[in-house]
Structure 1
């Protein structure tokens, strides 16, 4: 771990015999690897902190540019006015022995942080676990450390109480979460509002919170975490901002190492699995999880399930496949479930039509020797489990009726599925012909009557004269409506199976007391 002069100054402040004076504004980036003794005429390095005795700093002293300098003893004011360096002065009467004592103290500071750095890297590389990294962080700050997700849910184990902090409880997962008033307090604090810090760290003072707290946020690869250091045991120093940012990068690295297949908070993956396991969840809770992905309940989604029998089912293979899928489509989420890979795509966020998506994925699928089942488009996210079942139904029917193909769209196999299982596995509303749903949505938005027109047309066995008579409309009006209907349906009404399926969809709506919506 490289150090900055700000951090060294805060560490030296623990020694009351030193009087610190920052002659220049210390650089906050971590740059220094060790400490050395200044010698005139030597070659200087920007990653070394040099110590010099005040006795050697005269009016003719030529301070090297772009270096870090610690002066031991009192010097004349203004001697470093034109120096382009980062300088810290330890004032006072100093003996020769003091110089070397301080040199050893600074060397110990470097050793201390190098050891912490080594322990953190070792914990991550050996995959010792998230909680192990948090424990090292608490030793680093001598204060409690809390890891928050994007919604301020606590991600690490808290087996101690934080004075003055009253936690709320997430209704679904049972985890602790900052209450809304505490979140609002953070977001209305001066530093947060004015964003004074340009490195992603903020100080929340005790005027706005029960105790001083430093927050450091990191967002990479769609995963956002926030490290909070609370001042309950030892005073927080300015340099702790730098350390909090440094430590937050390790926490982020830990999550990416363990959950590289998603790049998202594992909490969202667990949320999807809970839905698939038929756990009931309130809509407000669903909305909160969608918000963590910047998704909305009203967005349009499509679900795909990937199967293959030709690979060795090793976790790392699954993770790589999921990662590749998500890299191709940023508005997506892929995860491993029940020996399959489930791939969710937010079509609204992508700005894609389903056929575009399927076309772009075709090469990926054929090269990977995959078989895939594809659901209808859907919204109202609580219905996601039904559309997952559609993908399984598409795979089952596809293997039975078209075993040589690789891509099975449930829209093409739903008729066969219904013949096999009726509505015993999937809710009737989710077996409706997808074009019927689109007609319903179009009528609702535009105050038209295309849904009823199609039903009468099919009941009249496509007899135009009888249809216009029953609808009390002109023949030209009927033909205009039929052209619009065919465009929305994206289906051939001359196909008797299509007509039968549409007729069955109307029966679902009528006899099951359903609305033709997803």
Structure 2
């Protein structure tokens, strides 16, 4: 009888910690007093949200990157191999897990959606049966506290969203590291990426019933194919990867357009990029595509940033606030230019130089041939090769303008570097 009373008192104190502590750290430390072992709180990307006092002393299974703490990749692999994550998602209650270490796991749920989980490590004392009951209570208490602190207020219930949010918020400096992290979700990393943003603002009460948001994301993911998503800053964000430069082809674009119109939605799409280190710049490209189209009273459902580059530059020159995010100029260079430079490096050709000279000579084939000191037939061979590599016809004046603008950006960047080195 006394044992039952003691357990009841512990449960009561855990629930009461919502009022006496009113913080995740405070609640965790009360939980640690009862469980007698280190407690970790993780989100579904294996990022450590919080740790109890004992857990803060244990760094053997943790690595820190860009100020955030994560489980070691070896442990992540082991958890997946042992189906531990599946058990966390499929179970409403705490359970023991035996591997190299003995642990207790328990999901933390909001609106029946798993937003994170508790991990208790047996290191200071052996577990007993009541530890599972206490962990279940701790899970419910943390669910309430997380909602109070709005940490998961915009969660859609898709585990991948923490990966993308991490990429958008934390400026990364190691592609290999993030590539390793991304391999644990159903997302193939191909050569080409784009960011697609859809404004989707809801009132606070709507977040607690986010089934609609979750279903909307799932339907768009079905259209886009290989992508991951998150809900961030009142926007649904997608990172899409494809082996082709034309990441969103005409067929996909038409399907997406019909779906967006049907749901009265608009989207902004960044330029194609290859380096995940630049993801923040391309995220803001997708945002500015929408903002500039609205500012210019252009009522397009799909808005490509590459159609607004010059207007972005105008807008940046007129910016009067310091909170205006300035996109790296080199990320404004058209993907065609980057593709030609890469092709030249791999094949020892001069296609980029040929195109640059052609544009600088006002698209005059004869003058271009003379300046490059090549025969006209050689020029036309190269020009056709350029169109073949880019899979396009360079007869459109606006396309040429975009390429010319990119060349000016590259030239300005080179001159700035020379000036700064003097």
Does the pair score TM above 0.5? yes
CA distance in 2: counterparts of 1:164 and 1:399, whole angstroms: 51
Could you say which residue in structure 2 is the equivalent of 1:282? Answer: 173
Match for 1:362 among 257, 262, 266?
257
- Write the mapping of 1:189-268 to structure 2, written as runs, cut at 5 A: 202-204=97-99, 213-214=102-103, 216=105, 225=117, 227-236=119-128, 260-261=155-156, 263-264=158-159, 268=163
Q: Is the 8 A contact 2:15 2:141 kept in 1?
A: no
Using the TM superposition, give the Cα deviation of residue 436 of structure 1 relative to its aligned residue in structure 2, in angstroms.
1.2
Q: Is the 8 A contact 1:386 1:426 kept in 2?
A: yes
Q: Is the 8 A contact 2:157 2:214 kept in 1?
A: yes
SS at 1:261 equivalent: coil
For structure 1, list consecutive stretches of 5 or more residues without a partner in the other structure.
1-103, 206-211
Match for 2:206 among 316, 339, 343?
316
Instruction: Report how many residues are paired.
Output: 384
Match for 1:433 among 334, 340, 357?
334
Instruction: Confirm or deny that 1:381 pairs with 2:261.
Output: no
Deviation sequence 1:256-304 (CA, Å, 0-9, x none): 97553253377646634534xxxx5533775676566576887532123
Could you say which residue in structure 1 is the equivalent of 2:231? Answer: 335
Could you say which residue in structure 2 is the equivalent of 1:159? Answer: 53
Task: Specify which structure has the bigger relative contact order, considering alpha-carbon pairs within 8 angstroms and separated by 6 or more residues.
Answer: 2
Give TM-score scaled by structure 1 length: 0.55
Deviation sequence 1:26-76 (CA, Å, 0-9, x none): xxxxxxxxxxxxxxxxxxxxxxxxxxxxxxxxxxxxxxxxxxxxxxxxxxx
Instruction: Confirm or deny that 1:496 pairs with 2:371.
Output: no
- Write the mapping of 1:439-454 to structure 2, written as runs, cut at 5 A: 439-454=340-355
SS at 1:378 equivalent: coil
Q: Is the 8 A contact 2:199 2:235 kept in 1?
A: yes
Using the TM superposition, give the Cα deviation of residue 187 of structure 1 relative to its aligned residue in structure 2, in angstroms.
7.5
Q: Is the 8 A contact 2:118 2:139 kept in 1?
A: no
Instruction: Confirm or deny that 1:393 pairs with 2:288.
Output: yes
Match for 2:196 among 279, 304, 308?
304
Instruction: Confirm or deny that 1:345 pairs with 2:239.
Output: yes
Match for 1:406 among 267, 287, 301?
301
For structure 2, list consecutive stretches of 5 or more residues without a partner in the other structure.
89-95, 320-325, 417-422
Using the TM superposition, give the Cα deviation of residue 249 of structure 1 relative to its aligned residue in structure 2, in angstroms.
8.9
Q: Report the aligned-residue RMSD.
A: 5.4
Q: Is the 8 A contact 1:295 1:346 kept in 2?
A: no
Q: Is the 8 A contact 2:38 2:54 kept in 1?
A: no
Which structure dedicates a bigger proportion of its chain to helix?
A: 2
SS at 1:377 equivalent: coil
SS at 1:408 equivalent: strand
Q: Is the 8 A contact 1:303 1:374 kept in 2?
A: yes
Q: Which has the larger radius of gyration?
A: 1
